[in-house]
Chains A and B, each alone.
Chain A
Amino acid sequence: KLAAVKKDEL
Chain B
Amino acid sequence: MNVFRLVGDLSHLLAIIILLLKIWKTRSCAGVSGKSQILFSLVFITRYLDLFTNFISVYNSVMKIIYLVTSLGTVYLMYFKFKATYDSNHDTFRIEFLVVPVGGLSFLVNHDFTPLEILWTFSIYLESVAILPQLFMISKTGEAETITSHYLFALGSYRALYIVNWVYRYYTEGFFDLIAIVAGCVQTILYCDFFYLYITKVLKGKQLKLPA
Chain A contacts to B: CB under 8 angstroms:
1-10
Contact = CB atoms under 8 A, between A and B. Distances in A.
Nearest to A9: B5
A1 B112 contact: yes
Interface string B170-198: 00000111111000000000000000000
A9 B54 CA distance: 12
Contacts of A10: 9, 12, 60, 63-64, 67
Given A8-B56, A10-B9, A10-B63, A2 B179 contact: yes
Given A10-B60, A10-B64, A10-B67, A4 B112 contact: yes
Given A2-B178, A2-B179, A7 B110 contact: no
Interface of B: 5, 9, 12, 50, 54, 56, 60, 63-64, 67, 109-113, 117, 120, 162, 165, 175-180
Given A10-B60, A10-B63, A3 B5 contact: no
27 contacts: A1-B111, A1-B113, A2-B109, A2-B110, A2-B111, A2-B178, A2-B179, A3-B111, A4-B111, A4-B112, A4-B117, A5-B111, A5-B175, A7-B50, A7-B54, A7-B56, A7-B120, A8-B56, A8-B60, A9-B5, A9-B162, A9-B165, A9-B180, A10-B60, A10-B63, A10-B64, A10-B67
B13 to A, nearest CB: 10
